Amino acid sequence: MATDELVKTTTGIAHHGAGRLPSVDVDSFNIEMKDEDGFLGDRASKGAFRKILDRWRKPLRKTGEDPFGKEPSESISKKTLDAILVSDDVEASAVVHSAIEDFAQELAYVTRRFLKTKAWARTERIVVGGGFRDSRLGELAIARTEIILKAEDFKIDLVPIRHHPDEAGLIGTLHLAPSWIFEAHDSILAVDIGGTNIRCGLVETGWKKAKDLSKAKVVKSELWRHADDEPTREGAVKRLTKMLKALIAEAESEGFKLAPFIGIACPGVISEDGSIEKGAQNLPGNWESSKFNLPASLIEGIPVIGEHDTAILMHNDGVVQGLSEVPFMQDVDRWGVLTIGTGLGNARFTNRHKDGGNGKDSSENGKDTSKKKARENSRNDKE
């Protein structure tokens, strides 16, 4: 099947991985930068924080005074670390605060490099998401990073993502869909695919309360930790299809007006036809194969929702998580997202503004040049 035919079959409304979305232009995403030590994102990941924590524990281990005992740093939960920050154990608290400070310095270094690229020029605000943000220590690291950057005269706001990171990746898919979908429907299906988990959700749009989707919420969700089961690629698609069908049945039984639309957040560089160019190495099986197309596979399993043909749009997971912030970024023009997880996801956006209320976009006369621009910026900024 030709690319254009495949796109039309799986979406009917837009391209996958589009550079121009209803509310924003995606200036760049999934930039991979390097320095002498390797990929820059590895310096500001969840794993990087654990290594820093372990480094601060090392001198205390030698004297038998490690407040964490023999427990490996990677096994200490965020909840435990958060509790230590406010505990009476001064030494343990000092270790965690020291790790936060060092991590903030690393995150500031990485952020500084992003801000100096062409794609991220004139960025006014950065939202920080990912699993690391969902903790007090993550919030402190984000706040400390902002202070470091402002002390160096970077005019930038650094803020934690508003929604829980697990829900942001689902809510963000609403901003992939054209607004007319919300006129007759009050909910959509959303999928957030990660290297460890696949999460599906029923997202209520809140359209009648707020046309900017600021009242959207996840009303049902299901999580599958595929890393534990180690399924084949086909097995993963089959399980995902089953999860979505269960949510469709629940939506119908509870009276939701479900749109015939599925939004998907997926790691990697997403092509217009829904294939994955690169970056999906942690998913079960080979998702980068030219013979595999997730949207097309799901359409086979779920050809209709209600009385209408199913439409699917897929984009990079960092982009989608960032899109959950669209309603709250209207006081700036250019903003970005960094997601701290196994790696460091990244995307930069420019808000789209209507020209004089005539419905025409004010930039480039409404032409969709953003996808090309995003790819050029990504290539130019690789080092």
Can you list the pairs that 304-308 forms with residues at least 24 positions away whose Cβ atoms lie under 8 Å?
304/260, 305/189, 305/248, 305/258, 305/259, 305/260, 305/261, 305/262, 306/258, 306/260, 308/260
Query: Between β-strands 38-39 and 34-35, what pairing exists: parallel, antiparallel or unpaired?
Result: antiparallel
pTM for the predicted model, two decimal places:
0.87
pLDDT tens for 327-341 read 999 999 999 999 998
pLDDT band, very low/low/confident/very high, at 359 (cuts 50, 70, 90): very low
Residue 369: the pLDDT is 46
- Tokens representing 103 are 């991590």
Residue 353: the pLDDT is 72
pLDDT band, very low/low/confident/very high, at 2 (cuts 50, 70, 90): low
pLDDT band, very low/low/confident/very high, at 5 (cuts 50, 70, 90): low
Taking residues 18-22, what's their average pLDDT? 94
Greatest CA span in the chain, whole angstroms?
A: 71
Taking residues 320-349, what's their average pLDDT? 95
Task: Name the DSSP letter for residue 351.
Answer: E
Rounded Cα distance, 314 and 165, in Å: 18
Locate all alpha helices (DSSP H) within 271-369, ordered by sequence.
294-301, 317-323
Rounded Cα distance, 125 and 245, in Å: 38
Contacts of 8 (CB under 8 A, 6+ apart): none
- Tokens representing 272 are 């217009």
Question: SS3 for 137?
Answer: helix
Please say if the pLDDT value at position 382 is more than 90.
no
* Cβ(343)–Cβ(45) below 8 Å: yes
pLDDT tens for 80-105 read 999 999 999 999 999 999 999 999 99
Residue 219 burial (CB count, 10 A): 16
